[in-house]
Chain A
Amino acid sequence: MFKQLPLDQPDSVEIVLNGQSLQVPKGISVAAAALSNQQNFTRTTPVSGKKRAPFCMMGVCYDCLMIIDGKANQRACATYVRNGMHIDNQEGVGPAMEGISNE
């Protein structure tokens, strides 16, 4: 959907996005990184499992929730990329909690 325009100072960091290793410009948000790297959606909803992607980019819609460095429900538009960051699409409410055996 989106692409990166060429920049003057291409300082970059390495992140792992949905299992893929990527170089992205330093200082951009996780949402920006996802949208400009062929991610068509960034989560599925807990209610119906429908796909969603970032909507407002300013932290007021909570549609861009992703799993960032193991923590679920992180606003991707309000989190900035860091070297070695792991980012995954969030499915529903996120992964099962530690210590569950009854589902």
Chain B
Amino acid sequence: MNKHYQLLIIGGGPAGLAAATTTAEQGVSCAVLDEQPAPGGQIYRAIESIPAQRAKQLGSEYLRGKKIAAAFRESNAEYYPDTKVWSLNKEREVGILQNNEANIISADKIIVASGAIERPVPFPGWTLPGVMQAGAGQILFKSAGIVPDNGVVLAGSGPLLLLLAWQYLHAGVEVKALLDVTPLGNHLTAMPKFPRALLAHHYLTKGIGYQIELKRAGIPMLFGVSELRAEGEDQCQRVCFKHAGKQKTIDSELLLTHFGVIPHTWLTQSADCKHQWDDSQQCWRPEHDEWGNTDIEGILVAGDGAGINGARSAEHAGRLAGFEVLFALGVISQAERDKQAAKDRKWMQDERHIRPFLEKYYQIPKNLLATADDKTIVCRCEEITAGEIRQAVRKGHDNTNQVKFYTRCGMGPCQGRQCSNAVAHIVADETAMPVEKMGHFRGRPPVAPLTLEQLASLKKDALS
């Protein structure tokens, strides 16, 4: 590995791989730093090693990853798997951890493509063993062929729920129910966006197709569900909720939930990139232009880590960032960049047609985002409840960071990844202020686990 590259790409999902392939093709020295052991990110996880039969059960979108990974492998881009990135600064110095050794390397340009995480939405019982995020179910399936053995309840709001139900159906898993918490009113508020969504109709027809299959298979799908909670002694034993005016219960030792995905911004935040609150996507994301340039010179973002637009968009965004880097490094002219990027720009616009509709349709209601039940744990690491957060606000700690200092929310091992959004929403709710004024937790490095010994190993050959 070199100490310096023309381009470093952080993340091995579709955006990172596409960016690497694009730039390496035109001679730029670039390396992809991937925390996973093989390319694909989360969406195409295990794409290279997955047995054919299992791949089929995952659906045709998943198989797209094969070509992307193959093109990447064929390119001259260097690939460093099992590499954790723990810091990034505006001088484009990257702290990495490989084989228990820490190092700082640098690049002329950096593309951060660290993807998305499940939107963490606290609800009563969400910390019980047996309650997991839907993405976790997908990862177990993709990377290890592991599926629920005593049935599963799926709950939440978002296209991934439908996809997972369909995948489980094809893998012979008992899906006890799909509980959709999308407010019924969303159908109406999303209607104005529907005509544009038809321009990306393949998404819609796919979704409808899944629903029909699930219905035919007799899987109960309940809509307009509310008051979701998991209950049990020491582990999930039943899922309770309200539907059609009645309280209902389903016995289940496993509940997988999904409330949309949000950009994983911990690296860009700790690098001090400017972030903005996206009201439609209900998330913080790094500010960037259409090529992915952030407010920090030489640092670009691409893919779902920049804003949620899905896997196909991530590919295009990766290529756009790649073309921009080629231009910025003087390898191609601006005119050449615009020419080479024309197709991806068009495709990306096409992919975006579905987004306003999806975002409106799957908008998570405020009472879920700003945890209503006082006894629900919001900060999983430090076990701080929604009630304690509200109390802190009433005592005058009226922004996200002050709540963090006072309650210790966000000071645990996950560094606030699972609680930061909920804290911001709760504080906004208590103060009757907009969420964007609340601030997100001030991101602090190291953003990946780094031990004292590993950090000490840095001084052996630190950059001077």
Tell me whether A and B are bound partners: yes
Identify the A interface with B (CB < 8 A): 1-9, 25, 27-29, 32, 35-36, 40-42, 45, 47-48, 50-63, 65, 73, 75, 77-78, 80
Is A47's CB under 8 angstroms from B383's CB? yes
Complex: chain B residue closest to A50, CB-CB: B127
A75's closest neighbor in chain B, by CB?
B449
Question: Please, what's the 1-or-0 string for B125-152, where 1 marks a CB less than 8 Å from any CB in chain A?
Answer: 0011111110110011001111111100
Pick the contact of B146: A35, A48, A80 (CB < 8 A): A35
* B196 beta carbon closer than 8 Å to chain A: no
A52, B127: Cβ atoms closer than 8 Å: yes
Q: Which of B35, B118, B120 contacts A59 (CB 8 A)?
A: B35
Residue picked from A1, A6, A27, most chain B C-beta under 10 Å: A1
Q: Check B51–A8 contact: CB distance below 8 A.
A: yes
A25 to B42, CA, bound (A): 21
**A3-B146, A45-B383 are known contacts; what are 16 more A-B pairs with Cβ within 8 Å?**
A3-B147, A5-B54, A5-B145, A6-B145, A28-B144, A52-B129, A53-B130, A53-B132, A56-B117, A56-B132, A56-B135, A56-B418, A58-B139, A62-B381, A63-B127, A73-B413
Given contacts A51-B234, A51-B235, A57-B132, contact A36 B146 (CB under 8 A): yes
Kindly provide the distance from the CB of A89 to the nearest chain B CB, expressed in whole angstroms: 11
Digit string of B39-61 for contact with A (CB within 8 Å is 1, else 0)? 00010000001010110000000
Given A32-B143, A62-B413, is A5 in contact with B131 using a C-beta cutoff of 8 Å? no
Known: A51-B234, A61-B417. A2 touches B135 (CB 8 A): no
Point out the residues of chain A lying under 8 angstroms from B449, CB to CB: 73, 75
A58 to B128, CA, bound (A): 18
Q: Which residue of A lies closest to B45 (CB)?
A: A58
Chain A interface SS verdict (over half)? loop
Q: Which residues of B contact A9 (CB under 8 A)?
A: 51
Q: Which of B135, B145, B383, B449 has the most CB of A within 10 A?
A: B145
**Given the contacts A27-B49, A60-B417, A61-B417, A54 and B132 also touching, CB distance less than 8 Å:** yes
Q: A56 touching B133 by the CB < 8 A rule?
A: yes
Say yes or no for B412: interface residue by CB 8 A criterion: yes
What are 12 sample pairs from A and B whose C-beta atoms fall under 8 A apart? A2-B146, A2-B254, A5-B146, A9-B51, A25-B144, A25-B145, A28-B146, A41-B234, A50-B383, A55-B133, A57-B139, A60-B117
B253 in the interface, Cβ–Cβ < 8 Å? yes
CB-CB nearest in chain A for B141: A5
Give the CA-CA distance A50 to B385 in the complex, in Å. 14
Q: Does B37 contact A (CB under 8 A)?
A: yes
Interface check B319, CB cutoff 8 A? no
Q: Are the C-beta atoms of A57 and B129 separated by less than 8 Å? A: no
Report which B residues bind A (CB closer than 8 A): 35, 37, 42, 49, 51, 53-54, 117-118, 120, 127-133, 135-136, 139-140, 143-150, 171, 234-235, 253-254, 264, 380-383, 412-414, 417-418, 449
Q: Number of residue pairs across A and B with beta carbons under 8 Å?
A: 122
| B145 with A1: CB separation less than 8 A | no
Across the interface, do B127 and A60 meet the contact criterion of CB distance under 8 Å?
A: no
B381 CB, nearest partner CB in chain A, Å: 6
Chain B residue numbers with a CB within 8 Å of A6 are: 145
Most central of B42, B253, B418 by chain A CB within 10 Å: B418
A55 touches B136 (CB 8 A): yes
| Whole-angstrom CA separation of A73 from B150 in the bound complex | 29
Contacts of A27 in B (CB 8 A): 49, 144
Tell me if B140 and A35 are in contact (CB < 8 A).
yes
Report which of B37, B49, B130, B136 forms a contact with A58, defined as CB distance below 8 A. B136
Q: If the complex has contacts A1-B149, A36-B146, A65-B413, are A58 and B42 also in contact, measured as CB distance less than 8 A?
A: yes
- Lowest 5 CB-CB distances: which A-B pairs, in order? A53-B129, A3-B149, A57-B136, A62-B413, A28-B144
The answer to whether B380 and A56 touch across the interface, beta carbons within 8 angstroms, is: no
Q: How many angstroms between the C-alpha atoms of A80 and B81 in the bound complex?
A: 13
Q: Is A32 within 8 A of B146, CB to CB?
A: yes
A55 — which chain B residues lie within 8 A by C-beta? 131-133, 136, 380
Contact of B264 among A8, A29, A60, A65 (CB under 8 A): A60
From A32, A40, A55, A75, residue with most partner B Cβ within 10 Å: A55
Known: A58-B117, A75-B449. A32 touches B144 (CB 8 A): yes
**Complex CA–CA separation, A33 to B139 (angstroms):** 13
Residues of B within 8 A of A54 (CB): 132, 136
Is the beta-carbon distance between B136 and A56 smaller than 8 angstroms?
yes
Assuming A29-B143, A57-B135, is B414 touching A2 (CB within 8 A)?
no
- Whether B171 contacts A1 by the Cβ 8 Å rule is no
Which residues on the B side are within 8 Å of A8 (C-beta)?
Answer: 51, 53
Contacts of A63 in B (CB 8 A): 127, 380, 414
| Contact in complex: B235, A41 (CB < 8 Å) | yes
Closest to A45 in B: B383
**Looking at the complex, which one of A28, A48, A53, A60 makes contact with B143 (CB distance below 8 Å)?**
A28
Judging by beta carbons under 8 Å apart, are B418 and A80 in contact?
no
Given known contacts A5-B146, A8-B51, A65-B413, A47 and B129 CB-to-CB distance under 8 angstroms: no
